[in-house]
Each structure stands twice: as structure tokens, then as C-alpha cells.
Amino acid sequence: MSILVFGHKNPDTDSVASAIGLSRLKNKQGVKSMPCVLDEIGRESQYVLDRFGVERPDIIDNVKIQIKDLEYEKTQAIRSNSSIRHAYRIMESQNIKILPIVGEESKLEGIVTMKDIAMAFIRGNHYHIETNMDNLINDLDAKVLTDRDEGEITGDAVIGAFYHETLKKVNLLGENSIVIVGDRYDIIDIAIQSGVRLIVVTGGNEIPSEYLRAANEKGISMIATPYDTYTTSRLISQCNYISIIMKSKGIVSFNEEEYLDDFKEEIKNKRHSNYPIVSGVGAYLGFVNRRHILTPGRKKVILVDHNEYGQSAKGLEEAQIMEIVDHHKIGDISTSMPISFRNIPVGSTCTIVYGMYEEAGVEIDRQTAGILLSGILSDTLIFKSPTSTHADKRAAKKLNEILDIDIEEFAMDMFKAGTSIEGKSIEDIFYGDFKEFAIEGHKVGISQVFTLDIDQISSKRGKFLEYMEGVHKEEGSSLTMMLVTDIIKNGSYVIFVEDVPILKHVLGDIEQGDFMKGVVSRKKQVIPMISRGIGMLG
């Protein structure tokens, strides 16, 4: 199972790029992994992926335990035209009590238990045969004496122990009869004359050639088994199709994508021991029982660019966190075992990932260099953000030695593609880069919008404020805030809703839409400022 590498909700370019870059490093180191995102990516990120020809990571909704994560029994399935005896032999040799029956494309058609087979032996019609020649040959260890019959064999078995005149008188033989006989040539002769469906010769006896020719001329199949007549008559009903006795109605099966919690709830009041697992198209995969849910397999994940439950995938508490690579404050995520946790105060997670490539001595290809550089330029605002460090600039320089591009020109093209809000709704713009924080018991939500066209936002300030008031009330936040960051002017306009005067404590008489010169970092400037404001509430 691949380790899932992903960043925070509402993925930005640093989050997307660091997930891809770190996943590629892990794969080169022999650790199977795949990059993911928790939502649709923004225009800026898509521009970067398109620019460097990188495929967009898959979107995952959550990392909750699913049935496919369990170590369930992958019991061998048999086809519905297999024989009862074949099923019994498999169950006996593998010491299992239940067997799945499948049809075309491995679609689950039914199940059979050892009890079903036992009841068929006791209560079944031992003389009616419904099977094919392959089953008869395999189950009776038989050899074909006449031309091979490829069709189905359906009819009633007749034991050739009667005097041949008796067979005629009581009309026991017919075109669908299956005659089981030893070296009674009189019975074989009358069976051929009657045009029966099949003659099973027991005891391994040689049959005179005239009878074989006569059978071929009449189109009658004849096979020879080494078993005696009594044993053959007892075994022949076991050659019947397993579909005759399998259970096909009322089967409780589960899709492999279903969640463990739902499975537990579903089986709470059911008495079955084993439940078939199927794929999305209904193909059989295995059996799961209550034993398998005692120690379920958990998804393995690596977190990048975040380390808080509120910013991560749903069901993270059910996953096994293998590693965290981040540049934010320490959050609330905890693990039961020691893990690798890189938390370095730099401007971009991609800078840390670049350092991991250097540390491991792994060469960086052009694609990877392009996305890592993009993440650094995006999160540091081309090094204008106060979060920028020497390490970010050094990593960008080294990566550009591979790319040899005009960093300023590329960055502005990237920002231009990402900051366009044309065609976006108020909700899309607000939640494009929205994060929630818990600060000293207060819930704070902050959206940040980077744009080169401030007028498009300021002209709709009233609509944004109205929408934010609804979000604020629904989330029960103490402060809901929107930063509209002007990359060129190196500052942010602010729109806010607060229940308590958090911002006013630190900013004085701040008004809606005021410009905060030099404030471009939510993490390093705005969050500390809000923390001070909350601390002043008393």
C-alpha cells in the first residue's frame, strides 16, 4: 500500500508542490508513495503543473479506514459451472468452510458452505444430473471413449444393474438418460439402441470396439472411470454444477470502498460469520469477518505544509502518520509512536523538501525542480514576505541552476494566472485559501486572497462582508477575517467580522477595507497579531 503524501485543505502551490516533490523523493528512495490533494487545486497551482508537465495529484476526501485496508481473507473463488465435488475438494484441502461462486468477469453470483454441500449429499436428488463433460471427466477420473461431447450433460442417472429386458419394459432408458454400467454388454447395447445421452463405464474395463463404433454412429458419449459401479453412482451427483446448491439470494456483501465504521454498524445485528467483499463493479475480492476488524490496517500518510487536525484530511485520527514536513507553528496533531517531524522556520515547505534531496544525495530532475521552485516563490511572494529566509533564496537559486529561467518573469506569470478571480463566486474566492485556527480557546478563520486586481475585490466589499457574517455565525468563530494581499504594493487590505474587539486592541480604529502596509504573511504577521489581541481581552 502506498503512503499518501498530502498538504492542507484548500491546497496552495506550496502545499501541492511539496507533496509532489516529497513523494518523488520517497519513491526514489524505494518507499512507495503517491502525492494527493484534499480539494480542487487553484489556478496558480494548475498553471505550475501545466508549465512543467506534471500530472495533477488525485483528490482524496478522507483517510478513514476502509474495508480494502483490512487484511481480509482472499479465498479462492470458483466458477458457477464448477462441480460440487470440485468445491468440496478445495474446501477440504484449504480447511475453509465457505467458498465464493463467480460468473463472468469474476462477478459474485453466490456462496456455498460446507453445510450446504453436506445437506446436498443427504437431501439432494442423487439421480438427476446437470453438469458438463469436463466436470464428469475430472471428478470421476474418467477418460473419453467416443467422440468428445462439448455440450452440457443433463438427465437422470440409471444404474445398469437391471436385466436388459426389464429396462425396456419399464421404459427406464431415454434420450436424456445417463447409464452407469460395468462390463454388462447387453446393457451397453440396449443403451446405445435407446439413444441415451451418456454411458459411464465403470471398473476401468475395456469396451469392445463394435460398441464404441455403434455409440459414435448414434452420437452417444461414452466415458470410462476406474471406480466401481457403486462408487460411481455415489459420486456422479457430486459432479453437478455448484450453482444448483449455492446461495444466491439474501447475501450480505460489502464494497471495498465502504468505511469500517459503516461495516461495523451494518453487521451489528447480523449473525453471519463471513461477508463477501466486492469491487466497485461487483467483482469478488475476498471475505471479511469480525476477526479482521480487531486489528485493522490503517492508511499510512505523510503530512506536508501543516500539522493540525483542523487543516488536514477527515479521519486523520484513524490513519498512521509516518512523517510531517512543515514550516508552521506546532499544532495539535499527536502520534502514538515516534515519527520524523521536520518543522523548520523557513518561508516554504518546498525549501525543506529541497534540503531533504540534498541531504539524501538524490538528483533533482527538471520537472521536480520547477514545481519546488514554484512553491518557494509562491509562499515567499518572491521573497517579499517576512517569512522569507536565506535558506529559501539559496534553494531557489540552486533549483534555478537546473531550470535557467527568469525568476521574476515566471513568478509574475504564475501570480497573474493564480490571482485572476474572473468567473469566481464570492464563496470560491473566500474559501480559495481559508484556514481555521484555535487560539487560547477562540476560533479564528482567516481567508487570504492574492490578487493583482484589487478593484475587483473592493467593488464587492459589501457582498464579501455579508457572506463572511454568515460564515462567522455558522462556524461560531470569535473572528472571521479576509486578507486581500496586493503583491505589487506589498501589503494587504482587510475585511473582518468579530464578536469581541480582537483587532481593535492591536490596530486601534481599524475600518473595513483598510490597507495594512507590509502585512503579507498570515502565519508570521497576522496570527501573532491576533494572538496578542486575544491576550489583551483579559
Q: Show which of 212, 244, 276 is a domain's final residue.
A: 244
Q: Is the pLDDT of residue 170 over 50?
A: no
Collapsing DSSP states into helix, strand and coil, what is residue 156? strand
Residues 310, 185 share a domain: no
Residues 488, 412 share a domain: no
DSSP secondary structure string for all residues of 276-328:
EEE-TT-BEEEEEEGGGGTS----EEEEES---GGGS-BTGGGSEEEEEEE-S
Residues 99, 46 share a domain: no
- Kindly report the CATH number assigned to the domain that includes residue 38: 3.90.1640.10
Q: Show which of 217, 244, 271 is a domain's final residue.
A: 244
Percent of the chain with pLDDT over 70: 98
Q: What is the largest CA-CA distance in the chain?
A: 118
Residues 409, 448 share a domain: no
Number of domains in the chain: 3
User: Residue 358: CB partners within 8 Å, gap ≥ 6?
Assistant: none
Residues 346, 218 share a domain: no
- Kindly report the CATH number assigned to the domain that includes residue 529: 3.10.310.20
- Kindly report the CATH number assigned to the domain that includes residue 196: 3.40.1390.20
Q: Over the stretch 444-499, which tens digit does the pLDDT of each residue have? A: 999 999 887 788 788 889 999 999 999 999 999 999 999 999 888 889 999 999 98
Residue 509 located in a structural domain: yes
pTM of the complete model beyond 0.75: no
Residues 403, 308 share a domain: yes
Exposure of 63 by Cβ count < 10 A (0-12 exposed, 13-18 middle, 19+ buried)? buried
Q: Show which of 418, 446, 468 is a domain's final residue.
A: 418
Residues 441, 399 share a domain: no
Residues 380, 317 share a domain: yes
Instruction: Provide the residue range defining the domain that includes 210.
Output: 84-244
Give CA–CA dist 486/429, Å, rounded.
Answer: 15
Residues 430, 394 share a domain: no
Q: Over the stretch 57-109, which tens digit does the pLDDT of each residue have? A: 999 989 999 999 988 888 889 999 999 999 999 999 999 999 999 998 999 99
Give CA–CA dist 179/173, Å, rounded.
Answer: 8
Give CA–CA dist 177/192, Å, rounded.
Answer: 11
Residues 414, 436 share a domain: no
Q: Over the stretch 253-266, which tens digit does the pLDDT of each residue have? A: 999 999 998 888 88
